[in-house]
Chain A
Amino acid sequence: MKLLEVRNLVAEVDNKQILNGVNLTVNAGEVHAVMGPNGSGKSTLSNVLAGRPGYEVTSGSMELMGSPVNGMSVEERAHAGLFLGFQYPIEIPGVANMELLKNAIDSQRSATGEQEIGARELIQRVREVAKELQFSEEFLKREVNVGFSGGEKKRNEILQLMLMQPKLAFLDETDSGLDIDALQVVARGINAFSASDNAVVLVTHYQRLLNHVDVDFVHIMVNGELVKSGGKELALDVEARGYAEFLRS
């Protein structure tokens, strides 16, 4: 089943064209990696997908679970099954982590006509996941990302991912800034999430994540386009030789 289909996507930010015709198809059960030089448009693609204000699609199309996303609000895209892992998770003072999780889960439930999650069920599920991610319970009470280290913020993204169980996880550099142990923890989280009925897109700069997560496809983004796709070996190539050959073309 096609979870995501992006065709000839052209998009701009502040009237500046950044995406120049992106094509990407992601099926259920697949794990993709998107690599590419700084500024090539990887985060822009994730923001455009999620519907961030200020990012405008000028042509091309995007479909989530077979439905066009254009015209869908940010929250509707989330309800449709999209999850965006942020490259730079921001701090939200005054809002507790637990409060964010409850609201996120409840809004998902209300979109499908389900009842709110009970306090006990919520805490049980959160505790389980937190344990898997070696995230102490203290973090659950704290304000979202406030005073979290870079690595803790990334782990918090994975915590949200695992609790929300989306169909398509688009993770923007969730592996950046992690120490070796944390990288393994995060990779375990991604592996635990990954299943035959969902899919993961990992934006990454480092081949090392791919030592821990089995990816099916690697794409190279240059100048707002996915210029080459291949298997795992493509990541090794890039690691060895950089992006020079793609930039020349």
Chain B
Amino acid sequence: MATRQSPLSLRDELLGRVLAQKHVGSIDGSVAKQVLQRQGLPIPHKGRWQFTDLSVIIDDAIALRRNANLHESSVADLNIKTSSNVETSLSGQMGAVEASETGSLIAVNGIFAPRFVQLKALDSADQVANIELPNRRQLDHYRIKIGKHAACSLTDKFTGGNRVVLCELDGGATLDYSMVLEPTKDISYHALVVTMHADSTFNLHSASRGAKLSCNEVVVNIVGASATASLSGGWHLNDHSHSDTHVYVNHRVGGSTSEQKFHGVVDDSARSSFTGCITIEQDASGTEAHLTNRNLATGPNARAYAQPELEIYTDDVVCSHGATTGQLDDDALFLLQSRGIAESRARELLIRGFLRAAVDTPEGAKLLSLET
């Protein structure tokens, strides 16, 4: 019988595997490498990573790196659609990789991504800027800046691969972010890090159908006062798909508001886990932060895990969080069936109703079949 590797030695081995790869050699890549060396990887199978096999994501990143197309040398090759008030360029030397510090997997992407794509929605533009990221199974790394008082609507469709999107919202900026994670039998790693300055507004609308293994990280750092973050999303998983969602909202300064609402449905033998963490730092009094995560397990072998975490280091905050996992309401099912509706259809109606509460964009509704 093979002895099972200890989590600590597995972590060291994984780190070695990453560092042994030849990276592209960009300055950004080497900075990311330093970050990873400093931070190390999380311990596999423990804590926040107990539900997701880290090695699968890392091996997929390495495989994507091997197959990466290094010849796309111009912005045009990348097929990013934008309105005219958005500037696009390839990195160079962004320098600031601080945002990578939020997670080692983001640094792994930073090491392997063949290029960083920079987008900027111009300051105070009259019209809403539009950005549509291309959907391809690649190692993608985007850095998006929404200029002062600019408004931007961004669509991010993703069908597996390894993608990191770092967004910075300047003072008074607004970003409407529609994230659509389409069903795939591949591995899907997606991270979104948003830094919010004063008076900015960030709205996340996400929807997901799951993947063989889907890991989604969302990090919101509120560094300015009077910022408003609203995060919502729904997922509906079938078969043996597995989805792991981590959302961190960090209130670094006070006087801002965040709200999170995530609803998930797991059917068949699917697994989901949700970690929602709100941190309110010492200087962030006057913060209001809320989080709800509701899960429905509708399949015989389906499992949904929820771990809300709250870290508050100051007084004078309004904060709430709650997570539930349950089954379809038998009384509601009976009512629908008593009206002649077949059980399977009745279940569908209830599931749709449940997801609608957290999914409010046409793209999300389409992905999850919520349209009437």
Q: With A92-B335, A164-B340 in contact, is A53–B330 under 8 Å at CB?
A: yes
Residue ID in chain B nearest A160 by CB atoms:
B339
Q: With A53-B330, A99-B349 known to touch, is A94 a contact of B354 (CB < 8 Å)?
A: yes
Cβ of A120 to closest chain B Cβ, rounded Å: 15
- Chain A interface residue count, CB cutoff 8 Å, equals 29
Q: Which B residues between 340 and 355 are near A, CB-CB below 8 angstroms?
A: 340-343, 345, 349-350, 352-355
Contact of A103 with B335 in the complex, beta carbons under 8 Å: no
Asked if B356 is at the interface (CB within 8 A of a chain A CB), the reply is yes
Complex Cα spacing A96 to B343, Å: 18
Chain B positions 287-330 with a Cβ under 8 Å from a chain A Cβ: 329-330
Given contacts A52-B334, A90-B332, contact A95 B349 (CB under 8 A): yes
Whether B340 and A79, one on each chain, are in contact in the complex, defined by CB atoms closer than 8 angstroms, is yes
Contact of B341 among A53, A75, A89 (CB under 8 A): A75
B329 CB to nearest A CB, Å: 8
B10 within 8 Å of A (CB atoms): no
Contact of B343 among A75, A79, A89 (CB under 8 A): A75
- B340 close to A95 (CB less than 8 A): no
Query: What separation, in Å, do the CA atoms of A83 and B350 have in the docked complex?
Result: 21
Query: Are the CB atoms of A94 and B352 closer together than 8 Å?
Result: yes
Q: Is the CB of B336 within 8 A of A103?
A: yes
A-B contact count (CB 8 A): 77
CB contacts under 8 Å to B, within A58-80, are 73-75, 77-79
Given that A92-B350, A93-B354, A103-B349 are contacting pairs, would A75 and B340 also be in contact in the complex, using a CB cutoff of 8 Å? yes
CB-contact partner of B337 in A75, A89, A95, under 8 A: A75
Q: Contact mask B65-107 → A, CB, 8 Å, 1/0?
A: 0000000000000000000000000000000000000000000
CB distance from B360 to the nearest CB of A (A): 12
Report if B357 contacts A (CB, 8 A). yes
In the assembled complex, which residues on chain B have CB atoms less than 8 Å from the CB atom of A83?
338
Using known A-B contacts A75-B337, A107-B345, determine if residue A99 contacts B372 with beta carbons closer than 8 Å.
yes
Rounded to whole angstroms, the CA-CA distance of A95 and B347 in the bound complex is: 11
Chain B interface mostly? helix
Cβ B357 vs Cβ A75 within 8 A: no
Q: How far is the CA of A83 from the CA of B335 in the complex (A)?
A: 11
Chain A residue at minimal CB-CB distance from B372:
A99
B126 within 8 A of A: no
CB-based contact A143/B353 at 8 Å? yes
Q: Does A148 contact B (CB under 8 A)?
A: no
Bound together, the chains give a CA A100 to CA B331 distance in angstroms of 15
- Name the distance in Å between B262's Cβ and chain A's nearest Cβ: 15
A 130-151 binary contact with B (CB < 8 Å = 1; else 0): 0000000000000100000000
Q: Are B357 and A164 in contact (CB under 8 A)?
A: no
Closest Cβ of chain A to B309, distance in Å, is: 27
- Minimum Cβ distance to chain B for residue A106 (Å): 9
CB-CB nearest in chain A for B352: A94
What residues of chain A lie closer than 8 Å to B338, measured between beta carbons? Answer: 50, 52, 74-75, 77-78, 83-84
Given known A90-B331, A90-B335, A96-B372, contact A107–B353 (CB-CB < 8 A): no
Given A92-B353, A94-B354 in contact, is the A86-B341 Cβ separation under 8 Å?
no
| Besides the known contacts A74-B338, A84-B338, 19 further A-B residue pairs in the complex with CB atoms under 8 A apart | A50-B334, A74-B343, A75-B337, A75-B341, A75-B342, A75-B343, A78-B339, A83-B338, A89-B335, A92-B335, A93-B354, A99-B372, A103-B341, A104-B341, A107-B341, A107-B342, A107-B345, A111-B340, A164-B340
> Can you list 22 contacts pairing A with B, beta carbon distance less than 8 Å?
A50-B338, A74-B337, A75-B337, A78-B339, A83-B338, A84-B338, A86-B335, A90-B331, A90-B332, A93-B353, A93-B354, A94-B350, A94-B352, A94-B354, A94-B355, A94-B356, A95-B353, A96-B372, A99-B372, A104-B340, A143-B353, A164-B340
Q: Which residues of B contact A (CB under 8 A)?
A: 329-332, 334-343, 345, 349-350, 352-357, 372
